[in-house]
Amino acid sequence: MRAFFVSLVLIGLTTAIPAAHAAGPVVVIVNSANQQALTEQDIKNIYSDIVTHWKNGKRIKLYNLPAEDDARDSFSRAIFGVSTRVIMQEENNRKITNSIKNPSKTKRASLISTIVARDRNAIAYVYKDELKNDKDIRIVLELN
């Protein structure tokens, strides 16, 4: 009887825990009208609040995924070499000290493609398989 109970608990736990997202690489995207070339260092500077405007003078509209999104952690580790938690602490410190120049907006992955497709000044990242409106989006960097 005890083994049966343990089996039920384990079955319940495995169905309650979401599976890891196996979506392939994370890609950094901009609107297809934005033809500015971006290196990995440029993206790091944008997400570090060092660069706040595109070369045409327009303010960059910066988008992040929610903290619990696996793609955000993959992005943070690939670009900064640290976890999302560390990056969020640094951003919060800049907010508290009122030194943040270009705060990011947090949006769900399902909205990111639509937002970037509609806004020439947006930059964001998602799993490659979550892209929509491909003709209105340009991939500037693929992270493995």
Return the CATH number at 83: 3.40.190.10
Q: Are strands 105-106 and 137-143 parallel, antiparallel or unpaired?
A: unpaired
Q: How far apart are the first and last CA of the chain?
A: 47
pTM (2 decimals)? 0.81
Range of the domain at 124: 24-143
Structure tokens at 31: 């609107």
Measured CA to CA, the distance from residue 1 to residue 45 in angstroms comes to: 59
Task: Tell me the per-residue pLDDT of 11-60, one tens digit each, with 9 for 90 and over.
Answer: 443 333 333 445 689 999 999 999 999 999 999 999 999 999 999 999 99
Asked, for residue 54, whether it belongs to a domain, the answer is yes
Asked, for residue 9, whether it belongs to a domain, the answer is no
Asked, for residue 11, whether it belongs to a domain, the answer is no
Q: What percent of the chain has pLDDT over 70?
A: 83
Asked, for residue 57, whether it belongs to a domain, the answer is yes
- Positions of E strands within 1-144: 26-31, 61-64, 105-106, 122-127, 137-143
Asked, for residue 16, whether it belongs to a domain, the answer is no
The answer to whether 110 touches 104, Cβ cutoff 8 Å, is no
**Could you give the C-alpha distances from 109 to 6, 53, 56, 139, in angstroms and in order?**
36, 24, 27, 15
Q: How many domains does the chain have?
A: 1
Measured CA to CA, the distance from residue 50 to residue 110 in angstroms comes to: 28
pLDDT at 134: 79
Q: Is 137 exposed, middle or buried (0-12, 13-18, 19+ CB in 10 A)?
A: buried
Asked, for residue 116, whether it belongs to a domain, the answer is yes
The answer to whether 32 touches 120, Cβ cutoff 8 Å, is no
Asked, for residue 83, whether it belongs to a domain, the answer is yes
